[in-house]
Amino acid sequence: MTDRHSRASEPASSSSRTSPTPPGPAPAGPGGAGPAESPRGAPPRAAEPLSAHPVPAGAAAAAAPAPRPAELAYHRLSRADPRHRWWKPLVEVVISAPLFFLVSIVLGLLLGMVALLPGGPDVSLEVTSSGYPTDIFTQPLVFFITFFSIVIMLPCVLLARTIMGPAPLGLISSVAGRLRWGWLGLCLLAGFGLYAVVQGLLIGVPLAAGAPAPETSFDPAVGLWILALTLVLVPVQCAAEEFAFRGYLMQTIGRWLRHPAWAIVLPVPIFVLGHGYDPWGQASVGAMALVAGYLCYRTGGLEAAIGLHVSNNVIGLLLGAIGWADPFASEGGSPFDLAVALVLDLGYAALIVLLARRRGVQTRRRVLLPPGARP
C-alpha cells in the first residue's frame, strides 16, 4: 500500500504505539513541489479553481472572432469598405443632387444669354412635349447643352462618392475596383454590331418589299457638328447616366437590401421618369433599364450597361441626324417599337452573358468581412 494509505490507518493503531506522533503539518509531496497536506484530523483543503490562474495574452487573442472571407456582388460593394455606414449614401445624394441642379441652372442661363446676344448664334429655346428642344438637330449649341447638362452628373456623383466612400472610388465602376476598359470595348463592339444588324433589317426588309426609301435630310454645315457631338459627347452622357442610375442607385439599395432584385428593379421608375416619351416609349426605356441592371449584377460592373446605353443612343441619334428616325418623339409609339426594343435588349444581354462566361469576366469581389457582417 502507498504511504498515504498507511497514514489513513494510523488512528486505528495508535493505541499500540508507545509514543504518539506529535501533531504537525504533513510533509510536502515528492520533490517538494506538491502542496502540503492538511494537519491530521483536519478536513482537506479544496483545490484552487482553474479560473484563478492567469490566461496568456496570446490565447485570449486567438479566442477573439476573426474576419471571414466573403464574395460580394456588384450591388453589395459598399460592404467592401469596413468604414462605410448605412447613412452615407443619403449624404451622397445631399452632396451630388444640389450640385447637379445648380450647374444645370447655370448652363440654362448661359444658353439664354447666348440667345439674347445681338449677332449671336440663332438659338431656339422651344421644347417639344417630351421635354427636348425642337431644333436639336439643326442647332449644334442646343445639342451640346442638352447632352452636356447630363454629362455633369458624372463629376457630381464621383465627387460625392470620393467624400463619403466606400473606398476605393473604383468600386462604383466594377468589382475589380476600376473601369475594365478592354471589357467595355468588347461590350461596345457587341452592342454596335447587334444594333447595326437589327436596324439594317428594319430598313432593308421594307425596301426589298418595295417600300419607298426614307427621306434623307442632312445639311453638312450643321450635320457634321451634330455627328461629331454624337460620337464624342453622347457616349460620355450615357456613361454618366449609368454611373448615377446603375452605379450609385444600385449600390445604395444594395447597401440596405441584400437580394439583387431590389437593386435592379427599384431604380427603374426613376430612370423612366427622366425620359419624356409616350407609354410605349417609356416601356422600352424601362426594359432597357431592367436589362442594364441585370447585366451590372451578372457581369460585376457598369461596362455592359454602358455598352447597351451607348449603342442605343448613338445609333438612334445618327439616324435622327440624317432624318431617318425621330429619337425624341413623344407620341406615335407602338407595340412593334416595344417588341424591337425587347429583341435588341434581350439579344444584347444573351450575347454579353456568353462573352463574359467565355472570357472569365470577374463577377464578385473577394473581401474580409468583420465578424457577424452579412455579404
Q: For 64-93, write each residue's pLDDT tens digit.
A: 677 888 899 999 999 888 888 899 999 999
pLDDT for res 34? 46
Please give the single-letter amino acid code of residue 74.
Y
* Domain range for 207: 70-369
Domain contains 47: no
Return the C-alpha cell found at 366: 473577394
Chain segment 222-236, per-residue pLDDT in tens: 999 999 999 999 999
Domain contains 60: no
Arithmetic mean of pLDDT, 305-322: 97
CA separation for the pair 373, 62 (Å, rounded): 20
Domain contains 37: no
More confident residue, 276 or 213: 213
Domain contains 258: yes
Measuring CA to CA, which residue among 104, 128, 124, 101 is closest to residue 112? 124
pLDDT greater than 70 at residue 24 = no
pLDDT for res 302? 98
Q: Answer for the pair 233, 144: CB distance below 8 angstroms, yes or no.
A: yes
Is pTM, for the whole model, over 0.75?
yes
| Weakest mean pLDDT among 151-165, 238-252, 325-339 | 325-339
Please give the single-letter amino acid code of residue 36.
A
252: pLDDT confidence band, cut at 50, 70 and 90? very high
CA separation for the pair 80, 171 (Å, rounded): 9
Round the CA-based radius of gyration of the chain to a whole number and report it: 37
Measuring CA to CA, which residue among 260, 240, 238 is closest to residue 250? 260
Count of structural domains within the chain: 1
- What is the sign of the dihedral through the CA atoms of 162, 168, 174 and 180? positive
CA separation for the pair 312, 234 (Å, rounded): 11
Chain segment 141-177, per-residue pLDDT in tens: 989 999 999 999 999 999 999 999 999 999 999 999 9
pLDDT for res 62? 54
More confident residue, 121 or 263: 263
Domain contains 319: yes
pLDDT for res 63? 55
Domain contains 30: no
Phi-psi region of 300 (alpha: psi -120 to 50; beta: other; left: phi over 0): left
Arithmetic mean of pLDDT, 41-47: 51
Place of cell 417599337: 337
| Weakest mean pLDDT among 112-121, 181-190, 275-284, 351-360 | 112-121
Arithmetic mean of pLDDT, 355-372: 91
CA separation for the pair 316, 146 (Å, rounded): 16
Domain contains 27: no
pLDDT for res 77? 95
Beta bridge partners of 242: none
φ/ψ of residue 68, rounded to 5 = -120, 145
Q: What is the largest CA-CA distance in the chain?
A: 140
Chain segment 256-269, per-residue pLDDT in tens: 999 999 999 999 99
- How far is residue 86 from each of residues 76, 82, 95, measured CA to CA in Å? 12, 11, 16
DSSP-derived secondary structure for 35-87: PPPPPTTSPPPPPPPGGGSPPPHHHHHHHSPPPEEEEE-GGGGGGGSTT--TT
